[in-house]
């Protein structure tokens, strides 16, 4: 049984690494569907964290991004669905609140994109704000949301 679990973990980790390593960024004007897996293991010793200084948490995330491109070069939609499941956490170690009290978590987002000119873009709805990881392939000076966690940062407006 242990060999089966070990092989499943190795396969899942390898698939997750390949998926995120070869996942091409969707350009904002490009139509596409992107499915990714992200596996994250946090194990660390943080002396500054006080009593809960030993950290251990292991999660698997599933990420789905959709981009319609633009209709008549003016309007488009984008959407996404994200889900994370806790694979492991030890009771005697801190998890830094990875799914604190829950086994899983998920959310969806959607936005309407309006492109009034070649150099401007307006998004209305709930959209990702992670530079070079999630929904935005470029930096936005007015938004500072960014994360290296399993699921992307989301903004509404």
pLDDT of residue 62: 92
The angle formed by the CA atoms of residues 12, 18 and 20, to the nearest 5 degrees, is 100
Residue 52 — pLDDT band, cuts 50, 70, 90?
low
| Domains, the chain, with CATH or none | 2-156 (2.40.160.10)
pLDDT: which is higher, 25 or 122: 122
Confidence of residue 134 (pLDDT cuts 50, 70, 90): very low
Residue 16 and residue 38: Cα distance in Å, rounded?
5
Instruction: Using alpha carbons, select from 110, 115, 113, 122 the residue that is nearest to residue 154.
Output: 110
Task: Determine the 3-state secondary structure of 48 from DSSP.
Answer: helix
Residue 93 has what pLDDT?
59
Residue bearing the bigger pLDDT, 46 or 116: 116
pLDDT at position 157 is 56
Distance CA 58, CA 89 (A): 6
Predicted pLDDT of residue 40: 85
Entry field: residues in the chain:
157
């Amino acid at each position: 049984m242990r060999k089966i679990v070990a092989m499943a973990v190795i396969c899942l980790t390898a698939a997750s690494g390949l998926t995120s390593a070869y996942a091409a960024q969707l350009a904002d004007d490009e139509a596409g569907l992107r499915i990714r897996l992200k596996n994250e293991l946090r194990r660390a010793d943080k002396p500054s964290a006080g009593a809960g200084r030993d950290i251990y948490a292991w999660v698997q995330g599933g990420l789905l991004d959709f981009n319609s491109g633009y209709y008549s070069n003016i309007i488009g939609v984008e959407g996404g669905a994200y889900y994370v499941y806790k694979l492991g956490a030890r009771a005697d170690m801190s998890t830094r609140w990875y799914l604190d009290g829950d086994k899983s978590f998920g959310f969806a987002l959607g936005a309407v994109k309006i492109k009034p000119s070649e150099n401007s873009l307006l998004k209305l709805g709930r959209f990702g704000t992670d530079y070079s990881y999630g929904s935005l392939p470029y930096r936005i000076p007015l938004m500072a949301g960014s994360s290296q966690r399993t699921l992307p940062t989301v903004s509404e407006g």
